[in-house]
Amino acid sequence: MHPLELTSESLQKALDLTSRFVREEIDSLEEQPSADVEGAEELARTFAETLPTNPKPLEAILDRLRPAIRKSFNTAGPGYLAFIPGGGIMSAALADFIAASTNRYVGVRPPAPALSQIEETAIAWLAQIMGYPKTAGGILTSGGSLSTLSAIVAARETKLKDISKGTLYISAETHYCVPKAARIAGFRDWQVRRVAVDDRRRMDVKALAHAVEADRMKGLKPFLIIANVGTTNTGAIDEIPRLVSIGRSHSMWVHADAAYGGFFRLAGAGPGLMPEIEECDSITLDPHKGMFLPYGTGCLLVRDPENLKRAHSMDAEYLHDVRASDSPNFSDLSPELSRDFRGLRIWLPLVLHGVNAFRDAIEEKLMLTRWAYDRLREDSRFEILDEPQLSVVAFRLKGEGPTADARNEDLQRRVNARGRVFLSSTRLDGRYVIRLCVLSFRTHMDRVRDAVEAIRAEANAAEDVTPDR
């Protein structure tokens, strides 16, 4: 047998070893620190090694891999409350194992029609969650960055004749992947208008209207508005109906960046949090956030799939054997021809667990966030930057200037050093702000209570800190 082909017996042994390794990691998540990178760079250097010539046993490889996994931010654990958590449900990992092991090709439909249909169905389910009509479509991507790129390209091809005159509008709180995607799509930085935000960090609608009209008067072509549905800093949601109204009055494409916030539409109050999102021409979703799937699972939804196809479709003679006649190939809807079978990691968990399990988890995250917000608001030492619009609580110890910033940085460091929870920070209006974001499916009341207790205790114990400390 070829050395790259495992015998049935050796495959079973490898599966048993790997399964035990994964179970031990998952079973110990509760006890693992929420972040541990002390000595991580030294460990990393041991993996800067020469190309191996001879085989090594799997047991030895797994023994090396375990500390590499442990010396990291524990993004799969219940105490990870930094940035935008996800979690990585095991049913999606099983789907990835099946997809990678069977290794079928779904970039075009004819080689695997049923598997392509599974992915189309998964996309249709996501469109249904967002309130889109049955005629909507989309594509699964690696994440919000590539989804945004395809959305901008689709808007460009649909709304612009002369790219040099096009202008697009984002808020000061929009994720940095958007101007990056615009640059890749051929737009100069000056063509990306950054609109001011209001006191809840939503796009200022009057400022947007003024900017659009001013550009029209200059002979430019405003063609795209990007609405935030859950900013990274505070979870802010732009006023979608008003942005859609401006967009329609000027024949502009309106895109919703709902990478973080979109799946909160599953909650009972969800549609009210993001009214008329279904009126947007396109929506970015990250199932690796609000559906708790593994990193690398993104989605772009469009009301009219033909716009996506016109922007991305290409042909070649060597593909004539696999041209699809009825359903579009996924390669017609995105930059990718070679791609993994992403649809299974969405379809299998939804079929296995049912959508209500995801709905219940999202409802729990909203409840936990409100609880943390209420507890911190009761403490007069803290300033809360805004009432949570989704699942982020942005707060800081009261005070102004460099000394106050240093005290907040020290507070965050002290809380994280406990190892039970891991918080991240940002700067809002030049001030240091601590963020608590509840989104992992493994995060429950016990860990959020730990977070609040740690914040209060370390704020109480913290000594005055100078900016130079």
195: nearest Cα among 242, 163, 149, 156: 242
DSSP notation for 278-313: GGSSEEEE-HHHHT-PPSS-EEEEES-HHHHHHHH-
β-bridge partners, 255: 226, 282
Q: The tokens 């690796």 sit on which residue?
A: 288
CB 357: neighbour CB atoms within 10 A? 15
Q: How far apart are CA 110 and CA 107, in angstroms?
A: 9
State which fold the 356-461 domain adopts. Answer: Aspartate Aminotransferase, domain 1 (3.90.1150)
Give how far the C-alpha of residue 290 lies from the chain's centroid of Cα atoms, to the nearest Å: 8
Q: How far apart are CA 405 and CA 295, in angstroms?
A: 32
Q: What residues have CB less than 8 Å from 62, skipping those under 6 apart?
A: 17, 18, 21
pLDDT in the model for residue 469: 46
What angle, 0 to 180 degrees and rounded to 10, lies between the N-to-C axes of helices 344-353 and 113-129?
70
pLDDT in the model for residue 86: 86
Q: How far apart are CA 86 and CA 275, in angstroms?
A: 24
Angle ∠(382,383,387) on CA atoms, nearest 5? 120
CB 416: neighbour CB atoms within 10 A? 21
Return the structure tokens found at 236: 């802010």
Angle ∠(71,232,172) on CA atoms, nearest 5? 135
203: nearest Cα among 247, 242, 177: 242
Q: How far apart are CA 107 and CA 340, in angstroms?
A: 8
- Exposed/middle/buried for residue 157 (C-beta within 10 Å: 0-12, 13-18, 19+): middle
Q: The tokens 């891991």 sit on which residue?
A: 422
Between the alpha carbon of residue 264 and those of residues 16, 186, 192, 268, 364, the distances in Å are 37, 33, 28, 9, 11
Q: How far apart are CA 16 and CA 9, in angstroms?
A: 11
409, 396 contact by CB (below 8 A): no
Angle ∠(281,201,187) on CA atoms, nearest 5? 50
E strand intervals along 317-440:
382-384, 392-397, 424-428, 431-437
pLDDT in the model for residue 464: 56
Output the CATH code of domain 97-353. Answer: 3.40.640.10
144, 259 contact by CB (below 8 A): yes
Inter-residue long-range contacts of 313-322, CB under 8 Å, 24+ positions, other chains counted: 319/108, 321/110, 322/108, 322/109, 322/110, 322/111
Q: The tokens 């000061």 sit on which residue?
A: 172
| Per-residue pLDDT tens listing for the chain (469 residues) | 899 999 999 999 999 999 999 999 999 999 999 999 999 999 999 999 999 999 999 999 999 999 999 999 999 999 999 999 988 999 999 999 999 999 999 999 999 999 999 999 999 999 999 999 999 999 999 999 999 999 999 999 999 999 999 999 999 999 999 999 999 999 999 999 999 999 999 999 999 999 999 999 999 999 999 999 999 999 999 999 999 999 999 999 999 999 999 999 999 999 999 999 999 999 999 999 999 999 999 999 999 999 999 999 998 898 888 876 677 799 999 999 999 999 999 999 999 999 999 999 999 999 999 999 999 999 999 999 999 999 999 999 999 999 999 999 999 999 999 999 999 999 999 999 999 999 999 999 999 999 999 999 999 876 555 555 4
Give how far the C-alpha of residue 244 lies from the chain's centroid of Cα atoms, to the nearest Å: 23
Angle ∠(238,127,323) on CA atoms, nearest 5? 130
Q: What letter would DSSP give residue 262?
A: G
pTM recorded for the entire structure: 0.97
142, 334 contact by CB (below 8 A): no
Sign of the dihedral defined by the CA atoms of residues 149, 151, 154, 159, in that order: negative
Q: How far apart are CA 10 and CA 117, in angstroms?
A: 34
